[in-house]
Structure formats: structure tokens, C-alpha cells
Amino acid sequence: MNIAIKPSAPTVSLLAARPLLRIVIVGDVDHGKSTLIGRLLHETGSLPEGKVEALKAVSDRRGMKFEWAFLLDALQTERDQGLTLDTRQIRVRTPSRDVLLIDAPGHLEFLRNMITGAAQADAALLLIDASEGVRDQTRRHGYLLHLLGIRQVAVVVNKMDRVGYDADHFAQIKQEISSHLSGFGLAPLAVIPISARNGDGISAFTPALSWYHGATVLTAIDSFTPAVREDDQNLRFPVQAVYKFDDRRIVAGRIESGRLHVGDEIAVAPSGRVARIRSIESWPAPGAQAPQQASSGQSVGITLDQDIFVARGDVITLPHQRPTAARRLRARLFWLDETPLAVGATLTVRIGTGEARGTVTAIAYAVDPGQLSSIDSNVIAANSVGEVDIALSHPLAVDTHDVSVRTGRVVLEVQGRIAGGGLVLSADGETAVFSKTTAKTKATHIVSVTSAVSAEERRVRYGHSGAVVWLTGLPGSGKSTLALALERRVFERGGVAVLLDGDTLRTGLNKDLGFTADERAENVRRLGEVAAHLARNGAIAIVAAVSPSAASRALARAAAGTHFHEVHVAASPEICESRDPKGHYRKARAGEIPNFTGIDSSYEAPAVPDLTVDTGTGTVAEGVAAIEKLLVAEVFKPSSPDHGL
């Protein structure tokens, strides 16, 4: 909700440059955020004339006591339920600056909306109910501010009238919240006792708070430092859409930072294509001149002097200011979904207008933000924080948060629903080439060539779309036996199947690799890239490889995207020990004890495979039939009985 305002005294010339400060106000439900904002609007003279009187009249007609929060609760459901459901932005003017107040919901169920609000802020007011003290949700909000990179925070202890303006009670709350915030390096600039309902501490203190000699809420706001002017930052123009209009292709979006001018040479990230700005488009008006420049905050359209490919999710920048074309990133996340986030999870990654399918390849740590205690690092539970590595299905234009707060924040979705968000800590756009000395080289002047045959043409010809069937399991579990039988089955039905056996590729493509953890990971990476390439070109790539690391398999999944189908070939260690590495029972002479010990103690079984085939209890035919059923549902054309399995 945007509220129109009138300037507060003293009047400042509209020609004078006034800094804009974005402040998010967070706190637990019913701690008084809306009441505080209503008071701030009133005491800065930022309300339309007669607004308070009109709302008081409405309250009288409803038989309700007037509340300052009614100034903000525009939704009837919010008035009925007494809680804020969505973020709202309210502009006020203090004598020294323009302030955009972002009212974020405090209820646990609406933390998703709070992330959206807080992600836009330069500073924060953290609200606490004096009668309730510091709650778990208060601690979560504090940690979330830290997570989102907000370093300027003032704590406002509201409802001091309910505790008799007790100085000792305030001192206890101040000590507790200051200790909590300092635990992760977030020192509050001020801790302020107020009563928003009565107006104490907003712009001045009454005798009831005579024992306090610090800042008011308004002086604390004026002490915050605005962010560096967005016009002076690197150009970041995320593309929202490309329109065909007359003979022009208009690239439209909102300039998040920097400036652009007609004639500027620009680069399109992540592709790196370069062109010049031919024009900046605007709605035609009689006598109006076409604009020659545009700056941060403006939604504009531009045309280019070359017909290069630009799409939604790309970022227009200057050639010397390009963001990373990232295939992998590390992020510090606040996780919201009820299902814990685990290695191997797939989700949608959004940065600006760009999106890609992502796969979690590692979890560095996890923390309960309410208690600041480390928890199981294998997963991140709901309402907890952690650092994760994510592999992307295709490159996204990414900045780290310390470079750009606008393109350095990430939102994660699961099945179309926001499941988490946070900061990009690092982004890897380099192509790592494995060597025994762990050297890395950069790929330069590489242009990917698109096939002359479309995926649909291949699907019509082969009777199925491309797929990766990744068979993983302990040595001796029967992966190769299943893979061979599946390859034969697909071939006999007219399909195109290619077997990629892990050991076989170690005799050629991967013969330079040994069996250290890094070399095994590189072995799986190469298998994954080859399999993904085959799948994108219509083949069913059948991979049989131990691939013991869940993180390595997650990278393979990320490379193949929706083509990837993970099959866990399960068998007990006892059964595997009685077989050779390919899953065949060993033949022993009379009196000979088999000494094959192929059990891999480092093997990490899939947490949620697409299919599990138990070769200890079932036959090869039953295993192949189960995989066939998966392929019929996901890969083969139902309309082609001659090619269906």
C-alpha cells in the first residue's frame, strides 16, 4: 500500500537532492508495528489533511475504539483478523530526508512476505513488546536481518505503558536483545523505549520516560546512513520482457542501479553479447522529445542497434561492469518450507527477473536462528538458516551481495511457492578443468552451437524424449546387469539407448582419474555432462556408476535438469559382498572363501530417488519392468504404441 503524503515542515525545495532511506519495520505479531507507523505519519505531518478525523468517524460508526493501525490496514481481512498479511510501503518526509517505511508482517506464517519486504531495505527498526519481551520470533527476525545483509538496526521497545514505564524492565530487554544481535555481529545503533499508542518516544519523551536520555525513533531514523546512490552504482537493468512493436524490438524492464544513455555500448549478461543503445522508448506525447538517458528506479524500454538475442531474465549492463555468468553459487539462506532442505533437492532459483532450475550440491552448515545453535548440517529445517551450494541448470547473471544488493539476493521456490531466500556469497562462472595439481583454467571465446535438429523432431523420430537414467548403488548391487537389460529392452522397442558404464569410461575418457574424493567427483561430473548432452539430443542415456557422493550426483542432476531420473539399485552389503563389482555372483572352488570386499564405506544412498530397485529380493526382469514403467510415464510418447514400452 502506498500512502500519498504532504511534505512535513520545514518545507524543502523539490529541486534539492534529498537522500532516500528504505527502512523495514519488523517484529512479532501484535507488537505494534502498524501503530508505530501510524504515529510516525502523524508526527511528521505526512498524512493527508482530515485523514485521522475520517478514520475516527468510521471507528465510531462501527462501535470500535480508534487505533492508529487503522491508517495502514487497508484490507478488510486485516481489520477483522487484527494482523498484517502483506508488506506495505509508506513514504514519509523528515526534515533531512525522504524515508520509505516498509511494514513487514510478523506472524510466523507470513515470513515469506517479510523476506520480500526486508530484502529491499537499507536499515531496520526491530520492534519488541515490552510486556512480552524477546521471543523466538524476535530472534528469528533479528537473524533474518543479518541474513539479508542489513547492518543498520535500531531496536524499539514498545508498549512501555503496559509495564509502568519500568526502567529496570527495559534494561533487561535491552541487555537480552543486544546480546542476541551481537552474537552474529549486528550491534544495534540504539535501543529505544516508547509507547506508540500514547506517542511517547516517537519525536519526544514525556516525563514518564524521563530516566531515558537516548534517541527518539525519529532521531534514530535520521542517524541511519542511506545506501550509496543507486545512480552511482554499476548498471543493472534486468530484462522483464521483449516486445515487437512496428519494426522495433523493445527491451523493457526497470533500472535497478546505474544509468544508461543513447549511444552507450552495453553487454547482455549472462550471454556476453554486445550492442549499442539506439533509443530509449517512451509513450508518445505531442511535442515531447525522445529521452536521451534514464537512471535507477525508472521503468524504460530500449532498442539496440543490432538484432541480438535478449530474453526475460537477462541483465543489461556495461561491458566493463558485467556480473558473473554463474553456473554455481553459494548462498546464505533462510529456509521456510516445512520439508527440510537437503542435498540433492531441486528447486527454482530466482535472481532479479532471471530464473533457473537449481540443485543443492552441499550444505555447509545450518543454524537455528531462535537459539543461534548449530543443528544437523545435512539438512536445513523450516525457519532455520544455512549456507548452501547450488548448481544451476543454465547460467544466470549474478552479483555477490557485497557488490549489489539488488542482484545479490536470491529467492528459492518449490512448486511455485516461495520456500526460502537470502544472500549470494559467491558465484562461480569459471569452467574448472581437472588436473592432478588442482589447477583451474578459464574457458574463453567459447560459443555453444545449437543442434540443427530440434528436440521435437527427435522425439517424433525416436518415439521418446531424451532422458538420463542414473543407476547408483554399492559395488556388486547389480547396476551394470540392470543397465544392460534396460539398454536391450529400449533398443528392441525402437528407442535410442546409450549405455555409459562407469568402469568402461575409466578405460578411455576418464582413464586419467584415480579414486581420491576429488577424482571420483570429477569422474561423475564427466559422466553427468556426457549423459546430459545425449539426453538433450534425444537419446536415453543409461548410466551405471557407484557415484558414492550425493553432492556429485546432485551436480549430474543439475546438468541434465528435467531429463534426470535417479534409480537407487539397492542391495544389502552381505549380498554385494557375494558378487563381483558388476553384480554377478562369484564362483568359488570347493573350500574357497570369496574375498571380494567391494563395499564402499563412503557411499551416500539417495535420500529421495525417483525409483528404488532392490536386487536382493527381486529379479532383473522385475527391476527392468519397474524402470520401464517410469520411462513410459515420463519419456515415451503415449500416442506411439509401436515405440512405447
Residues that are catalytic: 547
Q: How far apart are CA 270 and CA 448, in angstroms?
A: 13
DSSP conformation letters of 464-498:
B--EEEEEE--TTSSHHHHHHHHHHHHHHTT--EE
Q: Is 371 exposed, middle or buried (0-12, 13-18, 19+ CB in 10 A)?
A: exposed
CB 238 within 8 A of CB 407: yes
CB 563 within 8 A of CB 571: no
C-alpha cell at 330: 553459494
C-alpha cell at 162: 503496559
Q: Where are the beta strands (DSSP E) in 194-323?
A: 237-245, 248-254, 259-261, 265-269, 273-281, 293-295, 299-304, 315-317
Residue 79: which H helix or E strand, with range? Answer: helix 76-81
Cα–Cα–Cα angle for 340, 345, 347, nearest 5°?
100
Q: Is 328 helix (H, G, I), strand (E, B) or coil?
A: strand
Q: How far apart are CA 355 and CA 82, in angstroms?
A: 36
CB 21 within 8 A of CB 100: yes
C-alpha cell at 205: 519523551
CB 209 within 8 A of CB 200: yes
Strand partners, 379: 342
Q: How far apart are CA 616 and CA 26, in angstroms?
A: 55
Give the residue carrying C-alpha cell 546480546: 179
Q: How far apart are CA 437 and CA 434, in angstroms?
A: 8
C-alpha cell at 202: 516517537
CB 367 within 8 A of CB 436: no
Q: How far apart are CA 506 and CA 520, in angstroms?
A: 11
Write the CA distances from 521 to 77, 351, 541, 552, 563, integer angstroms: 53, 28, 19, 6, 21
Q: How far apart are CA 262 and CA 266, in angstroms?
A: 10
Count other C-beta atoms under 10 Å from residue 544's C-beta. 31
**Three-state DSSP string of 127-160:** EEECCCCCCHHHHHHHHHHHHCCCCCEEEEEECH
The alpha-helical segments, DSSP class H, found in 157-270 are 167-182, 217-223
The alpha-helical segments, DSSP class H, found in 183-231 are 217-223
DSSP conformation letters of 307-322:
-----TT-EEE-GGGP
Count other C-beta atoms under 10 Å from residue 624's C-beta. 22
- DSSP single-letter state for residue 257: B
Q: Where are the beta strands (DSSP E) in 94-209?
A: 98-103, 123-129, 153-158, 190-193
Cα–Cα–Cα angle for 382, 388, 391, nearest 5°?
120
The bridge status of strand 237-245 relative to strand 265-269 is unpaired
List the end-to-end C-alpha distance of the chain, in Å, as a whole number.
55
Q: Is 614 helix (H, G, I), strand (E, B) or coil?
A: strand
